[in-house]
Chains A and B, each alone.
Chain A
Amino acid sequence: MVVDETAAQDNAGAAVPVRLTELRLVDFRNYAGLRLDLTGRFVVLCGENGAGKTNLLEAVSLLSPGRGLRRAAYPEMARGGASGFAVRAGVEGAAGPVALATTVRADAETGSFARQVKIDETPARTADELLDHLRILWLTPAMDGLFTGPAGDRRRFLDRLVLTIDPAHGRRAADYERAMRSRNRLLADGCRDERWLEGIEAQMAELGIAMALARRELTGLLRAIVDAADDTPFPKADLVLSSGLGEDALDRPAADMEDALRLSLARSRFADAAAGRSLEGPHRADLAVFHRAKAMPAALSSTGEQKALLIGLILAHASLVSSMGGATPVLLLDEIAAHLDAGRRAALFDLIDGLGVQSFLTGTDPNLFEALGSRAQHLTIRSGTLA
């Protein structure tokens, strides 16, 4: 039967299972100090409102680039006036065990908080290096309005998805943003130096087209995963990307598209100066999500159906990350179980099980996780400590 087992693993994409084995927090939110050995693939965190369940997920999310799942400022994350905090984790990953750490400290002189990432106690050049060892996906109640809310939230969601399969995307997006702000500033100052504007617009075009192509690639890959998947209680979603580039055909050679974007930016200087912002470009992209079976925009679906669509998307993405990166991601699912009926809840647990990923689940009621039984490590949290 050994042969059959190998075959089954190959079918699952043979992704190396990545998991956190240990988590240590110092002065993070309501945790003065916490040391947690993680034994299972399912980590269930129960506790009352305000006990610190989401804080713990947020801490884990800081082991990836960016400001974590709340997008909060660093001073907010330091416990009551502390001058910094630390999140450390032991990770069993693709290349054996590794120690990841994010420490944030206030500068003694300026008081501004700066982040340092260490991998096996060696300072990393950028936080992007964390993605070599750990890729984290999350779903929080704050994302409930994703389909009906502002396009900026969907764009950020989309870019996080891209980042987990293409680590260079974060740098690209940040550079584009900086170039765009430079151009806006020049236009606002009434700059007459066309060559300077051209130089910045050339940068925006190069970075912007690369961004648009990376986003298109991701939606294409996700669509293929959704097409190939079996039907589950979580409805299949269709993703339609509007690139923000005016025309949505991104199938010309990249150099031609860069030229087109550069020309369009040059032509819109007057209008952009009047508006005080750049009116067109990949920073205006949006992601439209449809309920495939009902052929209906997700925004028009019921609240429960939207939640189910979002869960389906995250699970599809988790399977994409596993097959692309050769290693499984870690899922942070905040208050997911409470919104699902018992049938869907059990189905969710089985789907996560099938993906072979480690997941952190929170809830106020331990009974919600009964279906997991001994598959999970059950932890109870009470005001920043393990009960």
Chain B
Amino acid sequence: MAKSIAGPEIERLIQLLAKLPGLGPRSARRATLQLVKRREQLLAPLAAAMATAVETVKVCSTCGNIDTRDPCTICADASRDHSVVIVVEDVADLWALERAKALNAAYHVLGGVLSPLEGIGPDELTIRQLVERIAGGGVKELILAVNATVEGQTTAHYIMDQLAGMDVRITRLAHGVPVGGELDYLDEGTLAAAMRSRTAM
């Protein structure tokens, strides 16, 4: 173990920052140094913003999104088409879809995927809330935007089963040729998936 180069308050800051995704111990040191050097301009406002966030962050009771209000900004947005609901595994996926401005619709965040190996069952996810939401009416289309992994597809299958007989159109994201992709560079599995989900032009 290396010897400390700063007091325990600063070491603690470095340790915590190093736990953030994308930051290792080295970049955590650089970030910490920047913060303590610019105490008034950076550190104090950051500490205040974080304290506020701790107080206000909550999970949206409608869709499972994380925001500072409930219903969340997206659920409360009247300009969105709330008859279309995109089901995602995680808030990160919601943010990715929003960044892409893919569709001006509502979301439902599952909070993970079914995984017996990791002890995650239906009760750990927001599947029951989703079923209630659909049963409540007003949703015409449900888009399953889960990952193309074994667990993701199992979860999609499970949700489809739960909604069987309800008056809602269920779709999933296309699997296939990436935008800008060249056919002769794609693996056979991707090509076969793209061929299966071809669309009319």
* Residue positions of A touching B, CB distance < 8 A: 108, 128, 166-168, 171-172, 175, 178-179, 181-183, 185-186, 189, 191, 193, 195-196, 198-200, 202-203, 207
Contacts and interface: CB of A to CB of B under 8 A. Distances in A.
Interface stretch (B60-68, B81-89, B112-120, B172-180): B112-120
A166 B114 contact: no
B154 interface: yes
Contacts of A175: 149-150
A195 B187 contact: no
A185 B114 CA distance: 12
Which A-B residue pairs are the 5 nearest by beta carbons? A199-B157, A168-B189, A185-B116, A199-B154, A199-B158
Interface in B13-29: 25
B154 A189 contact: no
11 contacts: A167-B188, A175-B149, A178-B117, A182-B117, A183-B116, A185-B117, A195-B161, A199-B114, A199-B156, A199-B157, A200-B154
Contacts of A185: 116-117
B162 A182 contact: no
B153 interface: yes
A203 B151 CA distance: 9
Contact of A181 (B114, B117, B161): B117
Interface residues of B, number: 21
A264 B29 CA distance: 57
Contact of B189 (A172, A179, A183): A172
Contacts of B157: 198-199, 202-203
Contacts of A182: 115-117, 150-151, 154
B150 A196 contact: no
B189 A171 contact: yes
B111 interface: no
A162 to B, nearest CB: 12
Contacts of B189: 168, 171-172
A306 B173 CA distance: 50
Of B117, B122, B155, B156, most buried by chain A (CB within 10 Å of CB) is B117
A183 B51 CA distance: 44
